Chains A and B, each alone.
Chain A
Amino acid sequence: MTAAEAARVLTRRGLLISVAALLGLAGVYVLALGYTPVEARQGLAQKIFYLHVPAAWSALMAFSLVGITSGLYLWLQDPRLDRFAAASAEVGVAFSAVMLTTGPIWAKPIWGTWWTWDARLTLTLFLFFLFIGYLALRASVHDPAERARFSAVVGLLGMLLVPFIHLSVYLFRTLHPQPIVLKPSAPSLPPEMLRTLLISMLVFTALYVGLVTLRYGLGLAEDARDEATDVAG
């Protein structure tokens, strides 16, 4: 199979998974509005939780995978790892845009302010900027091998910045709701809420897989095109 054919298969598969995930997302809306109870203190504003948390989860997963594949690229020098990291970074930026817009919409009625310079907010914003920088760097280096090495270094360093972000959360006084699902004691959510959240996280993970597959296929097609035009030119 040539690269162009592989690209076509991958983009089609990616599109299919993404569409299925988007249908699943519609299901999550139905569950969030019809199945889960209304939270006693926050009211309907709490419903955004089923989008905000899974989006944040997908964004963080995307960025962690960029870091891991970047580190592996520096070791194995496999162009597939670089292409995956590029795809994951782009999708991660999209998910963090969702996280960074749904957050303030919730914060306005609950905290009384769109934005607060709380540690976690500030630093996720900077994580978003970091990956915008990662994509800007990719766009400004022409040579593919050099682009792959440079962005792998930034991706790896970026992943190591994340623990420092988390450490700062605990050192800086924080307003952000504390972890309620992943904590040492049992999750303190009613079962309907927890189930919906978990379904939504699955849907967002599927959406991530779909979009990355799509973007990976496009990257493959771009590389095939560049190679073809280089040979022709």
Chain B
Amino acid sequence: MREAIRLALAIAAKDVRAELRSRTALLSAVVFAALVLVVFNFARDPTALAATDLAPSVLWVTFALAAMVALNRAFTVEREHGALDGLLLAPVPRGALFLGKLLANLAFVGTVEGVTLPLFVLFFNVDLTAALPGLIGVTALATIGFVSVGTIFSAMAVRTRFAELMLPVLLLPFMVPPLIGAVQVTSRLLAARPLSEVAGWLRLLTLYDVVFVTLCTMAFAAVVDE
């Protein structure tokens, strides 16, 4: 168990290091998320809808689109120069390999979300001071779930024709429960309502994480092993 965690961390560290050396993908994803926020701001009629009414949905659609962009490249880099084959030849249990890729993707998506949040506050003029800890918590809870499913789908999508199209088509239905939950919780947080109102959603999000992280870890071998 400890060995598997060590291996997973090593794989995640490799990905993070590779990302920090080039930084192009991370920068592009951040710019993409910022652009989505800007587009949303112009896609609403300011005389009819207050920015704060739309804020939770805008935030989560932006997060979902940014995660999609990030996940699309997660295994594309491994395909170049047969890097994935090298990784598969190494004596690493497939579950540990999956957790490593998951951690790397979470670091990537988490960074994009972390940069997007201040921009969101700036553009949509919402006051986050009281809601911030709760918001970080629910973001982590929802993100772990869909990035986990996204990681395994991304490993499949790169092996198909139309990879860039296949991932969103497969992943979006899986994003629906975490996104609905996250939007519900976020709107309650922004309205300064007590968390007890959304206890059901928080339980659902946690259950989703537990079920899908476990299942994806177990199923990953079927995706990468010939």
Q: Which residues of chain A have a CB within 8 Å of any CB of chain B? A: 74, 122-123, 126-127, 129-130, 132-134, 136-137, 140-141, 145-146, 149-150, 152-154, 156-158, 160-161, 164-165, 167-168, 171-172
Contact = CB atoms under 8 A, between A and B. Distances in A.
A157 B169 contact: no
Contacts of B181: 168
Interface stretch (B10-18, B68-76, B120-128, B172-180): B172-180
Contacts of A152: 222
B219 interface: yes
Given A136-B166, A154-B170, A160-B212, 8 more contacts: A127-B173, A140-B162, A152-B222, A154-B156, A161-B173, A164-B177, A164-B208, A165-B177
B76 to A, nearest CB: 16
Contacts of B211: 160
Interface string B210-226: 01100110010011001
A153 B222 CA distance: 8
Contacts of A133: 166, 169-170, 173
B28 interface: no
Contacts of B200: 171
B201 interface: yes
Query: In the complex, which of the residues B152, B173, B222 has the most CB atoms of chain A within 10 Å of its own CB atom?
Result: B173
Contacts of A165: 177
A77 to B, nearest CB: 9
The A interface, classified by DSSP as helix, strand, loop or mixed, is helix
A181 B180 CA distance: 29
A149 B159 CA distance: 12
B219 A137 contact: no
Contacts of B201: 171
Nearest to A130: B173
A172 B180 CA distance: 9
B163 to A, nearest CB: 9
A132 B170 CA distance: 9
B195 to A, nearest CB: 15
10 contacts: A74-B222, A126-B176, A132-B169, A137-B160, A150-B159, A156-B215, A157-B212, A157-B216, A161-B174, A164-B208
Contacts of B222: 74, 149, 152-153
9 interchain residue pairs of minimum CB distance = A130-B173, A140-B160, A126-B173, A164-B177, A133-B169, A140-B161, A133-B170, A149-B222, A150-B156
